[in-house]
């Protein structure tokens, strides 16, 4: 217990809620944590007859099966994650071909410079959103599915097209804020319903994805051109890119979410007790 003279009578409940929120977020990131841990461990292995990237493909498949068989992801979640894998690979094929980043190591399961395991990096993001939806018992308020999906599709396309056409990501960012204005996400922490603007959640997730990207490149998941001769932090501009791209994953997860969430605890906008 925090003494009232230090934090006031409300401080301890706030800390408990924050710790519970952080722990639930960590549980939602279980697939991503396991995947990045596998990438890090694989970089320490001695020379093997099987390429590291190929081993990571097998590892990613086994992780997916484990989460499904354990009931941590249901059939709809796996479908969403599979779609994230496919659109992630498409993204990788274009970006790698243009030299945005690279996978320098050899592999059999590699096409046009992109190892198949690269799709699992995007699947991990999809897995996080799906598990967070279940663990936090997410509920959308005043969500505009069609408008949000159209803007998210434009964001995805712009990350390809800006190599040949004007980059309109800032205009798309404004549109994303506009179509999500008034949209909130309700979630449960310690049995109490909370609410957060959807746009704020995109920004927060984008920040932590940028942190994860720094960790991923540090353990050799892929390399940017400026990291070829030694690791350097990923540019802060990627934070904004992830804050936009997470909308694509969110739209896919929203389409695949369960339609019968069941009863919900009482919503308290301010009370943390």
Which pLDDT band, with edges at 50, 70 and 90, does 46 fall under? confident
- For 8-20, how does the pLDDT look when each residue is reduced to its tens digit (9 = 90+)? 555 667 788 888 9
Asked if residue 64 lies in contact with residue 81, where contact means CB atoms within 8 angstroms, the answer is: yes
Instruction: Give the pLDDT of residue 182.
Output: 94
Beta-bridged to residue 114, according to DSSP, are 111
Instruction: Give the pLDDT of residue 214.
Output: 95
- For 99-137, how does the pLDDT look when each residue is reduced to its tens digit (9 = 90+)? 999 999 999 999 999 999 999 999 999 999 999 999 999
pTM given for the model: 0.86
3-state secondary structure of 195: strand
Beta-bridged to residue 195, according to DSSP, are 186
Mean pLDDT of 39-58: 92
Q: Which long-range contacts (CB under 8 A, 24 or more apart) does 212-216 make?
A: 212/32, 212/36, 213/238, 213/242, 215/36, 216/36, 216/39, 216/121
Flag whether pLDDT at 261 surpasses 60.
no
Beta-bridged to residue 214, according to DSSP, are none
3-state secondary structure of 212: helix
Instruction: Give the pLDDT of residue 190.
Output: 82
**Residue 270 CB burial class (10 angstroms; 0-12, 13-18, ≥19):** exposed
Flag whether pLDDT at 268 surpasses 80.
no
User: Which letter does DSSP use for residue 235 in this model?
Assistant: P
- For 212-250, how does the pLDDT look when each residue is reduced to its tens digit (9 = 90+)? 999 999 988 999 999 988 899 999 999 999 999 999 999
Phi first, then psi, for residue 197 (nearest 5°) are: -60, 135
- For 53-107, how does the pLDDT look when each residue is reduced to its tens digit (9 = 90+)? 999 999 999 999 999 999 888 888 999 999 999 999 999 999 999 999 999 999 9
- Give CA–CA dist 107/102, Å, rounded: 13
Asked if residue 39 lies in contact with residue 221, where contact means CB atoms within 8 angstroms, the answer is: yes
Instruction: Give the pLDDT of residue 228.
Output: 86
Beta-bridged to residue 215, according to DSSP, are none
Asked if residue 76 lies in contact with residue 252, where contact means CB atoms within 8 angstroms, the answer is: no
Instruction: Give the pLDDT of residue 215.
Output: 94
* 196 sits in which H/E element: strand 192-197
Which pLDDT band, with edges at 50, 70 and 90, does 264 fall under? very low
Cβ neighbors of 28 (< 8 A, separation 6 or more) are 128, 131, 132, 135, 136
């Amino acid at each position: 217990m925090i003494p009232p003279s230090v934090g006031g009578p409300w401080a301890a409940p706030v800390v408990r809620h924050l710790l519970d929120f952080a722990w639930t977020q960590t549980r939602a990131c279980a697939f991503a944590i396991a995947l990045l841990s596998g990438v890090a461990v694989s970089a320490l292995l001695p020379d093997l007859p099987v390429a590291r990237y190929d081993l990571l493909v097998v590892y990613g498949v086994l992780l997916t099966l484990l989460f499904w068989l354990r009931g941590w992801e249901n059939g709809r979640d796996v479908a969403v994650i599979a779609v994230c894998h496919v659109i992630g690979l498409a993204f990788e094929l274009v970006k790698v071909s243009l030299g945005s980043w690279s996978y320098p190591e050899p592999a059999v399961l590699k096409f046009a410079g992109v190892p198949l395991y690269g799709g699992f990096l995007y699947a991990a993001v999809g897995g996080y959103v799906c598990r967070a939806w279940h663990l936090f018992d997410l509920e959308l308020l005043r969500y505009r599915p069609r408008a949000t999906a159209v803007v998210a599709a434009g964001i995805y396309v712009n990350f390809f097209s800006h190599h040949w056409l004007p980059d309109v990501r800032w205009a798309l960012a404004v549109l994303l804020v506009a179509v999500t204005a008034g949209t909130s996400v309700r979630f449960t922490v310690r049995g109490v319903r909370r609410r957060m603007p959807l746009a704020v959640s995109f920004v927060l997730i984008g920040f932590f994805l940028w942190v994860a990207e720094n960790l991923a490149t540090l353990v050799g998941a892929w390399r940017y051109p400026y990291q070829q001769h030694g690791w350097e932090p990923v540019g802060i501009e990627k934070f904004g890119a992830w804050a936009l791209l997470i909308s694509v994953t969110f739209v896919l997860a929203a389409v695949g979410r369960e339609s019968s969430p069941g009863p919900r605890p009482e919503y308290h906008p301010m009370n943390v007790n």
